[in-house]
């Protein structure tokens, strides 16, 4: 594998990386940075948590060079949380004052985003819907864009953003560099790439096995009535790390969070019914470890990168099997180890088979009575009425 120096990054970038503490590139970075720097179109696939953001942000920043006060790079991605995270990465990788990054996403007022746009960002990181709003308001001009990145391309399409993406791309000059980053490349992503990329360089890591390797996956046979007791037991067994619990619907997320709180567990929730501001503060507090258990729906948690998450609990199986991989990828970030616990009811067996197809192996479920985790037991805590052992 190459070093960052060998990949052709600028001295400035190397100094920043040293400051941040990235000593060597991840595999996808060592494959994607060079063609990105060369200005090629790129299709890059790598499992979640493999460092795809830096794989495009570092070369984009180097190619921008210095601040020009016009938007020269555009990153499209599926969710606000991811947008905020990517903006933060751009700010981390760029030298102070070198470039300016603006973030645009829906579900919040236009005021702050308008102010950011007035400052003339070099990079815009946006979800497609809000970006189109700003284009219609004539507040964003994409005619100066030289680099276009579609991050989490598969998720963008899953969420039905294809029409908006097309409308956005029509506004970007055809003479440009286009790159797509995705955990998976299915037929729909390929089709989009064929339309908008020119002779792309394809780089990939573990194309077949998209299942994060460092995550211990456990499955627990259960039924709806026993899920709460099982969850409480997992939480008490988990010790210090942060726990992310996924439910299928907003209603369920609310209910589960409320039940945990009733059992004296400090739990918070994020889902579509929680205001954007509240979601941001909740995530900030979760990141800082002010509370340990977060209950979320898939949309709210997509792309989250919180290194302290040690356990992901699939309280309900996800609607779409590919979400399984995304969910468990919230733990075991950047080579750390993590653990996922999936609750499986009798009616879930069809969905479980589909997940098995994606991860390419048979998934074993273990009975509830077996020891739940090899992680050292935390001191016993009191959890309300239900006996914790069932
Ligand atoms: P992906 O987009 O592939 O899911 P991210 O870009 O979110 O992954 O990166 C996952 C984590 O790995 C982040 O916390 C990021 O800061 C860290 N990371 C990325 N590249 C490196 C590297 N070369 N060395 C150490 N940590 C890295
Ligand atoms: Mg990413």
Q: Given this model, what pLDDT does residue 66 score?
A: 87
| Token pair for 256 | 């589960």
Please report which ligand is nearest the Cα atom of 210. 1
Q: What is the pLDDT of residue 389?
A: 36
Neighbours of 15 (CB within 10 A): 12
Q: Which ligand is nearest to the CA of 33?
A: 1
Residue at 209 is within a domain = no
The predicted-structure confidence for 362-388, as pLDDT tens digits, reads as follows: 766 555 444 444 333 333 333 333 433
Are 265 and 368 within one domain? yes
Query: Minimal CA–CA distance to 320: which of 248, 260, 233, 238?
Result: 248
Same domain, yes or no, for 222 and 151?
no
Ligand nearest to the CA of 89: 1
Report yes or no on 20 lying in a domain: yes
- CB under 8 Å to 141, separation ≥6 — which residues? 70, 71
Contact criterion met (CB below 8 Å) for 155 and 302: yes
15 and 157 housed in the same domain: yes
Residues with CB under 6 A from ligand 1: 22, 25-26, 29, 46, 48-54, 305, 307, 333-334
For residue 61, pLDDT over 80 is answered with yes
- The whole-number average pLDDT for the span 199-227 is 77
β-strands 215-221, 201-204 pairing: unpaired
Domain boundary among the residues 149, 171, 204 is at 204
Q: Which pLDDT score, from 0 to 100, does residue 336 have?
A: 65
pLDDT range class, residue 150, cuts 50, 70, 90: very high
- Domain annotation covers residue 280: yes
Q: In the prediction, which pLDDT does 378 show?
A: 36
Nearest CA to ligand 1 atom 18: 51
Q: Does any domain span residue 384?
A: no
Residue 382 within any structural domain of the chain: no
**Same domain as 195, residue 237:** no
What does the pLDDT read at residue 213?
A: 58
- Per-residue pLDDT, averaged over 178-184, amounts to 93
Q: Does pTM surpass 0.75? A: no
Q: In the chain, what percentage of residues exceed pLDDT 90?
A: 59
Q: Can you tell me the distance from the alpha carbon of 43 to that of 77, in angstroms, rounded to the nearest whole number?
A: 15
Residue positions counted in the chain: 390
Distance CA 73, CA 64 (A): 8
Residues near 95 by Cβ (< 8 Å), separated by ≥ 6?
A: 12, 15, 16
Average pLDDT over residues 218-227: 90
Q: How many domains does the chain have?
A: 2
Distance (Å) from CA 28 to ligand 2 centroid = 12
CA of 51 to the centre of ligand 2 (A): 7
Q: Are residues 190 and 255 in the same domain?
A: no
Q: How confident is the model at residue 280 (pLDDT cuts 50, 70, 90)?
A: confident
Mean pLDDT, residues 75-85? 93
Residue 339: Cβ-neighbour burial (10 angstroms; 0-12, 13-18, 19+): buried
Is residue 44 in a domain? yes
Domain boundary among 160, 178, 204: 204
Beta partners for residue 340, in sequence order: 217, 312
The answer on pLDDT for 324 being more than 60 is yes
Name the β-bridge partners of 295.
245, 269
Query: Mean pLDDT throughout 88-101?
Result: 90
Domain that holds residue 264: 215-374
Q: How many CB atoms lie within 10 A of CB 88?
A: 15
Residue 235 has pLDDT above 70, yes or no: yes
Q: H-type helices in the chain, by residue range?
A: 11-20, 27-37, 52-64, 80-93, 111-118, 128-136, 153-158, 162-170, 187-196, 227-238, 250-262, 276-287, 298-301, 321-328, 349-359
What pLDDT is stored for residue 148 in this prediction? 98
Q: In this structure, are 249 and 331 located in the same domain?
A: yes
User: Which of 54, 78, 213, 325 has most ligand 1 atoms within 8 Å of CB, for mutation?
Assistant: 54
| 96-123 pLDDT tens trace | 788 999 999 998 999 999 999 999 999 9
């Amino acid at each position: 594998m190459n070093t960052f120096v060998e990949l052709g990054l600028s001295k400035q970038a190397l100094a920043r990386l040293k400051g941040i503490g990235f000593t060597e590139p991840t595999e996808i970075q060592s494959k994607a940075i060079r063609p990105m720097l060369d200005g090629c179109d790129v299709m890059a696939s790598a499992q979640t948590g493999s460092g795809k953001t830096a794989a495009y942000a570092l070369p984009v920043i180097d190619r921008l060079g210095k601040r020009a006060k016009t938007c020269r790079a555009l990153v499209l991605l599926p969710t606000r949380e991811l947008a905020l995270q990517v903006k933060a990465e751009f700010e981390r990788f760029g030298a102070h004052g070198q470039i300016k990054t603006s973030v645009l996403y829906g579900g919040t007022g236009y005021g702050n985003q308008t102010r950011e746009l007035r400052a003339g960002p070099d990079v815009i990181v946006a979800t497609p819907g809000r970006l189109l709003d700003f284009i219609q308001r004539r507040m964003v001009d994409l005619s100066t864009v030289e680099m276009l990145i579609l991050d989490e391309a598969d998720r963008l399409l899953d969420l039905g953003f294809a029409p908006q993406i097309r409308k956005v791309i029509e506004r970007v000059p055809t003479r440009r560099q286009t790159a797509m980053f995705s955990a998976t490349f299915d037929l729909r992503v390929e089709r989009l790439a064929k339309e908008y990329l020119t002779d792309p360089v394809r780089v990939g890591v573990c194309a077949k096995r998209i299942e994060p390797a460092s995550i211990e996956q456990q499955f627990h046979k259960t039924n709806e009535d026993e899920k709460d007791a099982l969850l409480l037991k997992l939480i008490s067994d988990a010790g210090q790390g942060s726990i992310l619990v996924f439910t299928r619907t907003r209603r369920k997320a609310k209910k589960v969070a409320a039940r945990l709180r009733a059992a004296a567990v400090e739990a918070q929730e994020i889902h579509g019914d929680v205001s954007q501001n509240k979601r941001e503060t909740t995530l900030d507090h979760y990141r800082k470890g002010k509370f340990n258990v977060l209950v979320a729906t898939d949309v709210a948690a997509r792309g989250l990168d919180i290194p302290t998450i040690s356990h992901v609990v699939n309280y309900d199986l996800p609607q779409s099997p590919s979400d399984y991989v995304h969910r468990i990828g919230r733990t075991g970030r950047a080579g750390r180890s993590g653990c996922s616990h999936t609750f499986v009811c009798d009616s879930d067996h069809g969905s479980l088979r589909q997940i098995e197809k994606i991860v390419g192996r048979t998934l074993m479920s273990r009975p509830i009575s077996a020891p739940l985790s090899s992680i050292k037991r935390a001191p016993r805590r009191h959890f309300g009425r239900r006996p914790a052992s069932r």
